[in-house]
A and B are shown apart, each in its own frame.
Chain A
């Protein structure tokens, strides 16, 4: 049985739907990330798990215990034994580092020695030992976030919740903290749920990612699956760059494009003959040549724009009526107006759902 179970979770604010039927199972010790743009419902979902927001509909259970269900009394946040790290750190400015981390332990009525021991252990884990008596105003943003992490872990929670914890840090520190967070989580093995709008962060840190948009989960999978085979246009576009083009399935493995070219595909999905589909391919997966190779999955085009970016060249190539974006390592440079040949490897093309009318 999954450790955390969300069943048909919905949250309405008046008539606005913030979360629209989220179903999700999270395994014990798993690091799950909700990824999506602002307003997609990821934070609301997290806060419903925390108990800070009461769901309009749906059930939440952790470890087989029902925490929230319509018609029953919702377990308040202070009774859920979870830890949470906030975007704004939320380190209490009127308490020292020690007092901040000790506060949740005091609420559990732990003995003095135990509190001292656990606070020291937590601070050591986040590399803040020695700063116990400082006030948060004398700490950097990164240090404050470590205090928040230590505070969340000190009670050995069943679940750790992260609400965009790194987005107030500067870019360099953010990247460092990613690995550290992951490392700490692996070491203590706590089930973690993480919310972010930063896809690189999600990729780096998660066991699995749930991509969210408009209050719904669009796709759940390992970072690699989400990137390599997006199942829906939103996922493909939100994560990395992607080219989209519509077509019609002519067999289980071939799609005919608007310009009558036929592409072979090698995805995991089998196609229904005659179905309208949308294909997607990432710019760096398209190969660009000067000469025609007469291989399969080749398209003819004309370079419309090219920009040299140092480690790569970014092209816009006109193919029929549409423009494809291509990124290649800087080798041979094609000037604007050059006729080129594009190769779209069959295994790199994703079929993402039937085209919607």
Chain B
């Protein structure tokens, strides 16, 4: 490997026509054409990503009269203070609960003899397959104080006088988010537990430490970086997500950053100054979190020589069935209940009606396709957007990965960095940036479907890229070198050698982008226009229209989840097993 890394000539492409390597004396034109594989995508990213976001940050320092810091003085208001407190509380709380749950269940599923652990593994990943907007509305169906299905069930079961839970509170929001996001922590820490050399624990046992001390002194410190990274990841997703804050948060009157960004623009009269300022603040926080997470994972020096796989694991003994009971209870409530609630509501005659075997109905499914003004159109739009975004990104990111990983062209590092950068840009911030950039000629894309496509492309760039990069990492460069030795042109090498060999990973990336795009909400809400609605916009509009539409929303959510759940679980399970 070291030998490959030290190579200074490009491994394939761009100079295999027998020309000498680049020298200082070389004609500038040829030098430019040689670096085109880096310059061209850099240019594309500069226009698509850097320009709008830089424009947004810049515009936050202007108002109608010119340069100002007036927008930022609004941040001193009690309203902003309240928003920040809410956002951080929600992020911290849900990250804490999700990371704790994710870590414990990952340990149980990877390291112990928990019964049925393969089933549990799938169930722990399953929330990932439920669109966040569906999870949010499902918890509203289940746990509102009066009408909540689960509340009423518990009151009946235990003969309670009042509802035990209220989702329309900060703890309620924390729970809804944590139950939805703990799969991320589960997957990250599973990977850490699975790759940890088990003889490190054996060595502790042989050194006189019992099982509990080994867990405390060896296991936990070794996976600590991954736990910290998981915490920061869930924190990031929690504070940039819109679906829970835009539904439960709105009903509970708990404003959070991304929702306030949306409302500053969507509620008349729009307050652009406040929207851009909030966007910059949110961008700053998520950037810091992502930076911190990368630092932790990169500085993880606990890479160990992996010994051989041993068959025996931590035996739980008499705790085995206790762990089983706890896992079952948690999975039933956090994972299965939202699905059950959503499906039950979609089959009920009306919201709040008791569902019985005799009164269930498919009328809401019929309604959304026959009577609703734009659901049919929205499905078409969503599919078009998801397929286009996934396909364009698969091609672009694979080519970018090849340039970054295999070429020696200067600037490739920047290309890799820019491709990963949007992971730190929340959906609502992307939307505000695009609104700012493409509202006037020459690129007046607002009001067309292309602005949505652009938002999806930017948002999903990092996911597609990391899939392509992972796929390429598993291809021996010698396979490309062999093609080069046999005088294969670069384009042919790309399509005949690299694409076929990386197709499994690239397909996985395609599916992830497809799912993400199908259920994207925050950017879509700000960028859609009449005729260009998407499925998740349709669901959110139904929510805003009021209770009478919620049964129809449940029907649409059920259909959407049916499409996303299986691919989501399969992709995540696969990536967990291949360990990336």
Contacts and interface: CB of A to CB of B under 8 A. Distances in A.
Interface of A: 13, 43, 47, 50-53, 76-79, 82-84, 86-94, 103-104, 107-108, 135, 137, 141, 148, 151-152, 155, 161, 163, 168
Contacts of A137: 301, 303
Among A51, A76, A94, A168, the one with the most B-chain Cβ atoms within 10 Å of its Cβ is A94
23 contacts: A13-B311, A51-B205, A52-B202, A77-B205, A78-B207, A78-B209, A84-B203, A86-B203, A86-B307, A87-B307, A87-B308, A88-B197, A88-B306, A90-B197, A91-B203, A93-B222, A94-B221, A104-B208, A107-B209, A151-B207, A152-B206, A155-B207, A163-B199
Contact of B208 (A43, A108, A141, A163): A108
B141 to A, nearest CB: 45
A77 B206 contact: yes
B199 A88 contact: yes
Contact of B305 (A76, A83, A141, A161): A141
A163 B308 CA distance: 11
A177 B490 CA distance: 49
B265 interface: no
A267 B166 CA distance: 88
B304 interface: yes
A161 B202 CA distance: 12
A50 B203 contact: no
A13 B205 CA distance: 22
Contacts of A53: 312
Contacts of B206: 50, 52, 77-78, 82-84, 104, 152, 161
- Secondary structure at the A interface, as helix, strand, loop or mixed, is mixed
B302 interface: yes
Contact of A76 (B207, B210, B308, B311): B210
A104 B214 CA distance: 11
Interface string B209-223: 111010001100110
B503 interface: no
Nearest to B210: A78
A18 to B, nearest CB: 8
A163 B307 CA distance: 10
A168 B202 contact: no
Nearest to B208: A107
A90 B301 contact: no
Contact of A52 (B205, B221, B302): B205
Given A89-B305, A107-B207, 7 more contacts: A78-B205, A83-B206, A84-B203, A93-B303, A94-B302, A151-B203, A163-B199
Contacts of B355: none
B202 A90 contact: yes
Contacts of A104: 206-208
A83 B207 CA distance: 7
Among B207, B213, B302, the one with the most A-chain Cβ atoms within 10 Å of its Cβ is B207
Contacts of B254: none
Interface string B127-165: 000000000000000000000000000000000000000
Contacts of B301: 93, 135, 137
A223 B20 CA distance: 61
Contacts of A51: 205
Contact of A88 (B207, B211, B222, B307): B307
A50 B208 CA distance: 12
B111 interface: no
B204 interface: yes
B202 A84 contact: yes
A288 to B, nearest CB: 43
B200 interface: yes
A35 B302 CA distance: 32
B227 to A, nearest CB: 14
B204 A103 contact: yes
A94 B222 contact: yes
A82 to B, nearest CB: 6
A89 B301 CA distance: 16
Contacts of A78: 205-210
A54 to B, nearest CB: 8
A85 B153 CA distance: 57
A43 B199 CA distance: 13
Can you list the 9 inter-chain pairs with the closest CB atoms, starting with the nearest? Answer: A88-B307, A104-B207, A107-B208, A90-B203, A90-B199, A77-B205, A84-B206, A86-B199, A93-B302
A318 B576 CA distance: 56
Nearest to A86: B199
Nearest to A101: B207
Contacts of A148: 203
Nearest to A38: B308
Interface in B232-270: none
B307 A90 contact: yes
Interface in B425-465: none
Interface in B493-525: none
Among B204, B206, B210, B311, the one with the most A-chain Cβ atoms within 10 Å of its Cβ is B206
A5 to B, nearest CB: 20
A154 B307 CA distance: 23
A135 B303 CA distance: 12
A300 B420 CA distance: 74
Contacts of A155: 207-208
Interface in B277-310: 301-308, 310
A155 to B, nearest CB: 7
Contacts of A76: 205, 210-211
Nearest to A77: B205
A115 B31 CA distance: 65
Among B199, B303, B307, the one with the most A-chain Cβ atoms within 10 Å of its Cβ is B199
A90 B209 CA distance: 15
Nearest to A135: B301
Contacts of B221: 94
Interface string B6-24: 0000000000000000000
B311 A92 contact: no
Among A77, A83, A151, the one with the most B-chain Cβ atoms within 10 Å of its Cβ is A77
Given A78-B210, A104-B207, A168 B305 contact: yes
A92 B205 contact: no
A107 B213 CA distance: 10
A52 B301 CA distance: 27
A17 B179 CA distance: 43
Nearest to B300: A93
A139 to B, nearest CB: 12
A89 B303 CA distance: 13
B222 to A, nearest CB: 6
Nearest to B315: A54
A45 B345 CA distance: 58
A52 B312 contact: yes
